[in-house]
Amino acid sequence: MKINKENLMKNANIQIEAMLETLNSVGTIKLSDLNPEETLLTIIDMNNGFAKAGNLYSPFVEAIIPCVENLAKNCKDKGIKIIAYTDAHTNKSKEFENYPIHCLEDTIESELIDELKEMEDIIILPKNSTNGFISNNPFGGTINCGTAFSFIDYTKIKNHIVTGCVTDICVYQYATSLKAFINENNLNAQVIVPVDCVDTFDIPEIHNRDFMNLVFLNSMISNGIKVVKGIK
């Protein structure tokens, strides 16, 4: 495929305006409207290596800590199960061919942030991949996962809330994989991504945070994921 640069640049602003309109039109939902027994909160990579310090630290990820923490506390108060994925790599991780060394296992970087680690009953799942759904999948089913879990009956979960970092990599891959799994198995379930509980990093002229959030949140919507401004 050859990209027509002139045509792309000519239509870029129109496409961006359309994506902004789509994202601005999403609403909020109430946690109280979701049945706790049918709801699961999944937190992606809210660990020290991304949210506090390290080669892949982002101040924008750190900034969503209060929102993620508040949602986790509200879910916990309502009896909603919570799982939290955390990067935990060895020195031989193939991922380091594409990313700087980060979140080595058994180091402080691979640990959940204190705001979450101190909560009881959060199930922590280590992963050696950007996509936690194929790295450590608690739902079993038809996919090949690294570890089999029985603590969650995925057939009973109708509301999958996905939060964390980063919007365009780990969150996106997990949410779209989960949605594809739901579709493959004809499950009566939805994937919910609250905008105020996800974010990505910014590298000038290489990785524009606003643009990446806009594109990948819109792509989630196109994939049938319920993107909302927040969960109150």
User: Residue 151's domain is classified under what CATH number?
Assistant: 3.40.50.850
| Structure confidence by residue, pLDDT tens digits, 172-194 | 999 999 999 899 889 999 999 99
Cβ neighbours for 220, distance < 8 A, ≥ 6 positions apart: 172, 175, 176, 193, 227
Task: Name the token pair of 33.
Answer: 């409207």
* Range 131-158 burial, b when 16+ CB lie within 10 A, else e: bbbbbbbbbeeeeebeeeeeeeebeebb
- Name the residue among 168, 169, 189, 178 with its Cα closest to residue 83: 178
Average pLDDT of 198-215?
Answer: 96
- Per-residue confidence (pLDDT) for residue 48, from 0 to 100: 97
Confirm whether 184 is domain-assigned.
yes
Q: Is residue 191 part of a domain?
A: yes
Q: Rounded distance, CA 129 to CA 137, Å?
A: 12
pLDDT score of 148? 43
Q: Is the pLDDT of residue 135 over 60?
A: yes
Residues 6+ apart with CB under 8 A from 21: none
Question: Is the pLDDT score of 144 beyond 60?
Answer: no
- State the residue range of the domain holding 77: 39-228
pLDDT, position 151? 63
> Could you count the other beta carbons within 10 Å of the beta carbon of residue 20?
13
Q: What percent of the chain has pLDDT over 70?
A: 94
**C-alpha–C-alpha distance, residues 224 and 110, integer Å:** 31
Which helix (H) or strand (E) is 59 found in, with range?
Answer: helix 59-63
| Average pLDDT estimate for 41-46 | 97
What is the pLDDT at residue 156? 87
- Tell me, what's the pLDDT at 140? 56
Residue 18's H or E segment, with its range, is helix 5-24
| 16 falls within a domain | no
Is 193 a domain residue? Answer: yes
In a domain, 145, yes or no: yes
Number of domains in the chain: 1
Token pair of 170 as six digits:
């780990």
Task: Quote the CA–CA distance of 112 and 52 in Å, as a whole number.
Answer: 10
On whether residue 29 sits in a domain, the answer given is no
Closest CA to 194 of 46, 30, 48, 78: 30
Whether the predicted pLDDT of 97 surpasses 50: yes
Residue 220 lies in a domain: yes
In a domain, 158, yes or no: yes
Determine the Cα–Cα distance for residues 24 and 214; give it in Å rounded to an integer. 10
Contact 157, 144 (CB under 8 A): no
CA–centroid distance for 182 within its chain: 16
